[in-house]
Amino acid sequence: MQSLITCVLIIAFISPCLCHRWNVGTQNTIYNVIDFGAVGDGKTDDTQLQGVIVAPTKDAWVEGNLNTLIMISNVNGLTIDGSGGLIDGYGSAWWACKSCPRPSVLIINSCNSVSVTNLNMINSPKSHIHVNGCEGATFSHINISAPGDSPNTDGFDISTSKNIMIEDSTIATGDDCIAISGGSSYINVTGIACGPGHGISIGSLGKKFDTVQEVYVRNCSFIRTTNGARIKTFPNQAVEVSDVTYRGIHGTSLDGRAITLDCGESGCYGIVLDQINIVSCLTGKSASCFCNNAHGTATATNPNCTCLLP
């Protein structure tokens, strides 16, 4: 029953969030989901998020409250079926100032047992979906798009989360398709068409003690990505990266390095590269693999990663 209730409440989460961006006071306002079409009879499907949500213009945002367009926090058993609906972050007005605070489109914070499917997102001012402090979340059939030169528009940012699945989705942005940050483990990424964009990355890690473990990236394609498969850590920092697998990856790279395993002094262990074929899309150029203190194995991998340590 909890799952049904939280599904109905998604309208209540979205509505005050959007109103607040136009500086409409919502702290003491009650939103009745019945007024938005919910029935709540235990039979009717009240869970659909359809149509188009467009973020307000930059000038309409409340100063000092630039974190996110939609925030979902401390909810268990939530299901969002976008039914092909679209969220437009209206990010073009924000991108010129790369150092300015900018909002994400959707932040899911401290939630467990979450399912998000059949949703389209475009043009976030910053990251499109940020998953933080969650356990047990599945994202499938998510289409994310932003121009290739839009700054910091990651498709997914995953931090301090466990048992996260991202599958069967298309991501084309100006930054990482998927970025996995510290405190994350058992992250499964499969069936992703990534690019243009930076690629599927672990890091950057090391601004504080960070651990990332048990990451599996399988059966994905890279389309004119600049980094491809990447692990990146800051030098001289305490970082623990282990048991990371890239398997069944193919595509094209815009950069000389299609695979980057930059692990710093702490090293990365248990790296597995298998059945990878990433080629340069630049005439006369070859893709390469770079390693720094990375330990693991590479089989049937192009570019050849002989730099991996045992």
Q: Which residues are catalytic?
A: 198
Rounded to 5 degrees, what angle do the CA atoms 224, 230, 235 make? 135
Query: Which candidate, 268, 171, 140, 175, places its Cα nearest to that of 213?
Result: 268
Calpha distance 48→260 (Å, rounded): 41
Q: What is the largest CA-CA distance in the chain?
A: 64
Measured CA to CA in angstroms, residue 258 lies from 71, 198, 241, 271, 289 at distances of 35, 10, 20, 16, 6
Q: Which long-range contacts (CB under 8 A, 24 or more apart) does 201-204 make?
A: 201/176, 201/227, 201/230, 201/231, 201/232, 202/230, 202/231, 202/232, 202/241, 202/244, 203/179, 203/230, 203/231, 203/232, 203/233, 204/232, 204/233, 204/234
Amino acid at position 73, single letter: S
